[in-house]
Every structure is written in structure tokens, then in C-alpha cells.
Structure 1
Amino acid sequence: MDPIRVGIIGVGNVLNQYLDKIGVHPDVEIVALADVNAEAVAKRAAEYSVPKALTPDELLADPAVELVLNLTPPNLHAPVTLQAISAGKHVLSEKPFATSLEEAQQILDAARAAGVKVGSAPTTFLGSGMQTSRKLIDDGWIGRPVAVFGSFANRGYEHWHPNIDPFYSPGAGPMLDIGPYLVTNLVNFLGPAKRVSASAPRSSETRPRPTADGGYDGVIDIKTPTHVTGSIDFESGATATVIVSWDVWNHNLPHLEIYGTSGSIAAPNPDHFSGAPILRRGEPRDLALDMTPPGGGDWRETAITHRDDAYRGIGLAEFGHAIRNGLEPRTGGAFAYHVLEVLLAFEKSSELGRHIEIESTCERPRPLPSVGPHEPYRFD
């Protein structure tokens, strides 16, 4: 097919994760970059040999751009996506899809009226590590999935991120920043969710603001929960326990493990695109009074079933394939809305002190066809 012509709005911290390996996706052509910072966008366009360095308005008016990749800060995701839809562009947004369900519904309604496709990252579920894990589940290696444990926990981003305040503002926090990697992959593995129960405290009202020389100057106002823990019940009958935190120095928790009636899978880091799952089938010794200790027994690294150099550009390639073939992207609007509703339900559950029923649903994303290391990516 003709390459999908992509214009990117926002040239900040995440741009390189899309463009460093974009060459492995020949069906994606980056035709323009845009940002409100003219100096930054000119520098990034030169760095990646992108022909046009534009303002956001110029990019949206450019007829060469078919698909907009929205890499703006989270609070701007919905406004910029709506602007792009108004300009007749398809839009793939960085996560989260929006910061409220009201914004997300506006996006879906506008896209439907304009006849364009919308969707949201994260697209790590399209990478080899998660697709191999999905295939192990679908092929019955652990029997019927009954439970999952997922975690992301660290001390926050202020010691390395150049623009930290938005991360501690309403509509952000660990659930909307790192939670999408867990929830997106959980829906990929288990299908749609039906209810959430959670607790979401803040450990403090402020944090010291680090300086480049290793000291501190002033404080960061904390306006969002910084430690979120809870459970998700899925329509399939499985349940997941989830922890996301910026209050933890270190831990021994797995990123993502899936437990079935016949065994377990330790999936790779769901923030990454590669890595091999580790499979553990049930063993007789597990049934003894002194059962096999955690981590014990015959865990085996599996061979990956998909090419493993995708990086974030795979989301653009899959989206472009869907546009060209009249399909709904695997990262499409209904899927993105459902994931966002689950994410927002954690804080809502904590505030109201009860289960939150998930009103939306979505199709479980279609698995990607297996391809070898030197074969083209396939999205049929």
C-alpha cells in the first residue's frame, strides 16, 4: 500500500521513541513535525530528516498530512485531537486518550461525524513480548486465565523529566501515565472489563523540586493520587490486581503475570515492545503441603513468535494499514475509550468507596500474525 503520511504535533521527550526505529515500517512516511516552540521543532526535523518543521496550525492545514500523531502534554490531548478531527485528519494520540470521559466522548462523536479514525497509545501490546504472551494464552498453555497481577512502582519522575508539573496535576498521576501500559495489555489478554474497586491516596501535598546540580529549589504541588491499588473484574470471569505508584523506592513485584488453570506466564515489561515471556506449567510438587516457593519450579523462557524491533512506530503502521483497508485500528476509539474508563474508575472508586461498574465495552484486539525476524510486519 502507499505509505500513510504522518504529521506529528509535539516534539518533546517521547518523539525519539517513535522515530528512532521508524525505518522498520516502510509503510509510514513522516512528512511534518510541529510544535509551539519553533526552535525545538526545527532542531528535531533536522535530526530526523523530516522535510517540514511547522506550527501546529500549519500542520493541520497541510493536505499532505493524513494521520496526526498527537504527542502534546496529557491535558492537551483532547483539545489537539479535536482540532485535528476538525481539519479532517485521522488521529493517533499518546496516552491517555483524554483526561475525562466527557472529552473522550466528544472525540468519538466528532470522529464519527467527520468520518475519520481515532485511537490512542500505548501500543506496546502490538510488540513481540505481548503478542507472544497473547499467543501462549490463546493457544491454551496455561489453561483458562483466572487472575493477573500487574505493577509499576517507582519514586516518580522529577529527578529526570524536564517538565514534571503536568505529571502531578489533575488528569495525570501514575494511573493515567503508567497505568495505561497495564490496562491496555490486560484488555488485550482478557477482553473488556466490567468493574473496578480501588484505593488511591496521595502520600504528601508537595514534593521537593530537584535542581540540575543535585539540590532542591521550591516544591512541586501534588494534585493527584500518587499510589493507586485495586482490582479489575473482567467479563471473561478473570480478575486482575493492579498497583501503580510514585511512592515506592524499589520492590520485588513482577510487572505482569498471568495465572491460569494449568500454569502461569511472566510477561515482559509492558512498557517495552520486546522481551520473551517465561512460562511455568503446573507441577505435582505445587500441590504438596510445603508447596514450591515463589519463583521456584520449572520456569522456561519461550521463543518469541513475532518480529521484535517494532518500537512505537508500529502503532502508526497498524493505524495506517487500518485506514488503507477500511478497518478499525486495534488501538481505535472504542478500545481507547474503554481503557480510559477503566483507568478513571480507580480514583472514582477510591473517592466513592465502592465498586465502579464499567459502562463501555470493546472488542478484544485482534492478534497480530506471527512474522519472522526478517519478514515484513503484517496487520491483516
Structure 2
Amino acid sequence: MGRPHAVGIVGLGVISRQYLDTFAAGSAVRIVAVADLDAARAAEAAASLPHARAMSVDDLMAGGEVQTVLNLTIPAAHADIARAAIAAGRSVYGEKPLTMTVAEGRDLVAAADAAGVRFGGAPDTVLGTGVQTARRLIDDGALGRPVAATATWISPGHEAWHPAPDFYYAPGGGPLFDMGPYYLTSLVHLLGPVVAVSGAGRRMRAERTIATGPRAGRTVPVEVDTHVSGLLEHASGAVSTIVTSFDGVATSAPPIEVHGDAGSLMVPDPNMFDGDVRIRRLGGVDWETVAPSAGYVGAGRGVGLIDAFTSPTGPRADARMALHVLDVMESLLRSSRENRRVEIDTRVDVPPLVPLTPPERWR
């Protein structure tokens, strides 16, 4: 692997712990700097990391040691932090969504290209053995010709567990922008890019009540649709449907199903990296569990960043994929508002399959 890749983290909220755990389990990445609006939180994080210093965002960007900025801020800040990193000549990898708008995302992709730096974004869960094994089956023709897929995510809302859920109900949030990227990125990896969408969204309540933490009992305003359904037309000819909701309770439906003329496939939770892939073949009498045959084994959040500087085929969790998914989400909401089918302007090449890669070869 050579020398560890030097990373500076901006934003040390709940999700940062998962990235830190991934990096701590191997030697591919070294955290050299951390920054957060809460200086005490940054200092606490730096104290737990052997090579890291707590500093301001400006100092982190200016510091010569940082090779890639890991942007874990709230969605409203994603574009500003990415823009500053690119301007400073740093590669940047960010949490989803890529930016708040497709227009912002296009500008940043162009800026990164002009600056000659890498620009990537979550989700990287699609690089684990779950989605990658499912994709290998599809690529190998196990389903025949794929014709349809369904993706379903339903919950009562994040205020039930998150102590500060405000941003989930602000622009850039909602079930589609929060959970949709996992499902939509998986559908693109499995069935190819999307060329048109039709969507319908609803906002069921004007406010939500926080159930846990120091603000329990307080309410937050709802500024986004909390139930979104959509139909996606893929360039391959397949048609998929997606449901994302903060207005239900639970579902027994598989997270993702893919159907072809020779078989059907159950894909595990795309918010996770692994899980059982199950197939039922034409003429078969039951579902078969398929052994992992592709993907990063034992992966965690941050594997997409590691893949960006280690993969010989180039970064798989690239900003162009995240931009395409953002375009699909933005277009679903536009379709709902305007009551019409919306064509997708962005195009993306589906990245190469991840070979089955044990932890010691990627961490």
C-alpha cells in the first residue's frame, strides 16, 4: 500500500465514528487533522487519534500534509467545504448527498477536473459484498435479461433516535435525500444509469417531536416531503420503482429485488456492506443463498475513499456517480411538483466490478 494516505476530517458528528473505526482497523489511511464547528469536539477527537491535530477549517485546508479532505458536515455545508478543498488543491470525499443541488454539483465536478484533484462521494456501501455479488450475478446472466426492480425503505422518522434530527427535515434531507442514495446508487450499479423518472411526494406532518437526548419533547419544522415514491427508466430498458418514507412503521419487503426473464434476485440492505444475496431461478422451487463472489470483504464507511487512491481502475465512489444520483432525486421531486415525467440530463458509466477482496488487501 505504501505510505498511509493523509486525510483531514471536517465535521465530527455521529457518522464520523464509523469512518474512524474503518480507518483504525487498517493502515491505508492516517488522520492528520480534524475540524468541527464545536472546537471542544474537535479537540476530543484529535486526542484519540495518534497523528491528528485539531484546527480550524481554514488551517486544515491550508495545511500541506492533508492529501484528501473527508467532508462529513451537514448537507447544507457540503458544497462550501468541497469548494474550499478543491480551491486549496486537495482531493475531497464527502457524505451524501453530494451537494444540495445538481447545479452546485456540476460546478464542483468541473472545478475538480480543472484542478486535477479527485472528487468522490458516498455511499460506498455498494462496494461491499452485498451489492457487488448481486451485480456479478446480473452481469454473468443469472437473471437473463433484467426487466424490473423494486427498492423499499420505510420508517417512522429519525427523530425517534437522533438527538438533533433537524437537518433530516430541512432542504437536502427527507427520506429521499437521506436514504435514497443507498438504494438509487445500488440500482444504478445493478441496472445502469437512469434516463427518466416519474415521482410523487407527500408531506404528512408540519412538525416532528424529538424523542431522545437533551432536546426530547421539542419539535422541529418539516420543510421537505416525508414520503416519496418514484418510477425510474434505465438506459438498459429496465424499469425500477423506489419508495422512501418517514411516515410508515416498518416493511417486510426485501430492500431491493431485481427481476429478469430467467430469475429473480433479493439484494441485502444497501445501507450495509454485506448480507445474504438470494436468487430464485426460472423453474426453481425455492430461493438459494449465494456465497459472496465480489466486493470488499468486511468493508465499512470510508472504503470508497480508500478505493479512490488504491484501485487500479480508478475511483468507484466517484462524484459523477453521486451527481447522477442527485440528479435522479432532484428530478423525482420536480416530477412530483410539476406532475410530469422528467428526463435525466446527467450520464454516468457504471464503475468496474470490485473483485472479491479480503480485508488485509484493502485496509
TM-score range, shorter chain: over 0.9
Task: Give matches, 1:83-232, under 5 Å.
Answer: 83-210=84-211, 212=213, 216-217=217-218, 219-232=219-232
Find the residue that maps to 1:45 and give its secondary structure. Answer: helix
Q: In the superposition, relative to structure 1, how do residues 212 and 332 fare at CA in structure 2: closer, same or farther (>3 Å)? A: closer
CA contact (8 A) 1:28 1:316 kept: no
1:243 aligns with 2:231: no
CA contact (8 A) 1:5 1:64 kept: yes
Q: In the superposition, relative to structure 1, how do residues 198 and 81 fare at CA in structure 2: closer, same or farther (>3 Å)? A: same
Deviation at 1:124, TM superposition (A): 0.5
Matched with 2:292 is 304
- Which stretch shifts more, 234-243 or 50-59? 50-59
CA contact (8 A) 2:163 2:213 kept: no
**Partner Cα distance (2:296, 2:117) in 1:** 29
Matched with 2:275 is 275
Find the residue that maps to 1:78 and give its secondary structure. Answer: helix
1:234 aligns with 2:234: yes
Deviations 1:110-147 (A, max 9, x none): 11221112111000111111111111111111112111
Deviation at 1:239, TM superposition (A): 0.8
**Partner Cα distance (2:162, 2:25) in 1:** 28
Residue type matched to 2:306 in 1?
Answer: A
CA contact (8 A) 2:292 2:356 kept: no
With structure 2 as the length reference, what TM-score do the two structures score? 0.95
Structure 2: unaligned runs, 5 residues or longer: none
Find the residue that maps to 2:9 and give its secondary structure. Answer: strand
1:331 aligns with 2:317: yes
1:318 aligns with 2:307: yes
Residue type matched to 2:145 in 1?
Answer: R
Task: Give matches, 1:21-40, under 5 Å.
Answer: 21-40=22-41
Aligned length: 361
Deviations 1:239-280 (A, max 9, x none): 111000000012222211111111111111000011120111
Task: Give matches, 1:51-70, under 5 Å.
Answer: 51-70=52-71
Deviation at 1:213, TM superposition (A): 8.2
Q: In the superposition, relative to structure 1, how do residues 260 and 34 fare at CA in structure 2: closer, same or farther (>3 Å)? A: same
Q: In the superposition, relative to structure 1, how do residues 211 and 123 fare at CA in structure 2: closer, same or farther (>3 Å)? A: closer
**Partner Cα distance (1:166, 1:24) in 2:** 30
Deviation at 1:161, TM superposition (A): 1.1
**Partner Cα distance (1:214, 1:27) in 2:** 39
| Cα RMSD (Å) | 1.8
Matched with 1:5 is 6
CA contact (8 A) 1:132 1:276 kept: no
Matched with 2:329 is 343
**Partner Cα distance (1:96, 1:351) in 2:** 20
Find the residue that maps to 2:249 and give its secondary structure. Answer: coil
With structure 1 as the length reference, what TM-score do the two structures score? 0.90
Deviation at 1:214, TM superposition (A): 10
**Partner Cα distance (2:118, 2:359) in 1:** 30
Deviations 1:207-253 (A, max 9, x none): 23435489623x22110000000110000001111000000012222
Q: In the superposition, relative to structure 1, how do residues 374 and 272 fare at CA in structure 2: closer, same or farther (>3 Å)? A: closer
Residue type matched to 1:263 in 2?
Answer: G
Find the residue that maps to 1:8 and give its secondary structure. Answer: strand
Deviations 1:19-71 (A, max 9, x none): 11324443222222111211101112223434212221111111110111100
1:377 aligns with 2:344: no
Find the residue that maps to 1:340 and give its secondary structure. Answer: helix
CA contact (8 A) 2:165 2:210 kept: no
Find the residue that maps to 2:100 and give its secondary structure. Answer: coil
**Partner Cα distance (1:124, 1:338) in 2:** 17
Find the residue that maps to 1:5 and give its secondary structure. Answer: strand
Deviations 1:59-113 (A, max 9, x none): 1111110111100001100111001111110111100000101111221121122
Deviation at 1:358, TM superposition (A): 0.3
Structure 1: unaligned runs, 5 residues or longer: 285-296
CA contact (8 A) 1:194 1:357 kept: yes
Deviation at 1:353, TM superposition (A): 0.3
CA contact (8 A) 2:297 2:356 kept: no
**Partner Cα distance (1:89, 1:212) in 2:** 36
Identity of aligned residues (%): 39
**Partner Cα distance (2:202, 2:196) in 1:** 20
Deviations 1:293-347 (A, max 9, x none): xxxx41111111245211012112111225xx6x642122222211110111111
- Which stretch shifts more, 101-110 or 355-364? 101-110
Matched with 1:294 is none
Residue type matched to 1:267 in 2?
Answer: V
**Partner Cα distance (2:98, 2:209) in 1:** 30
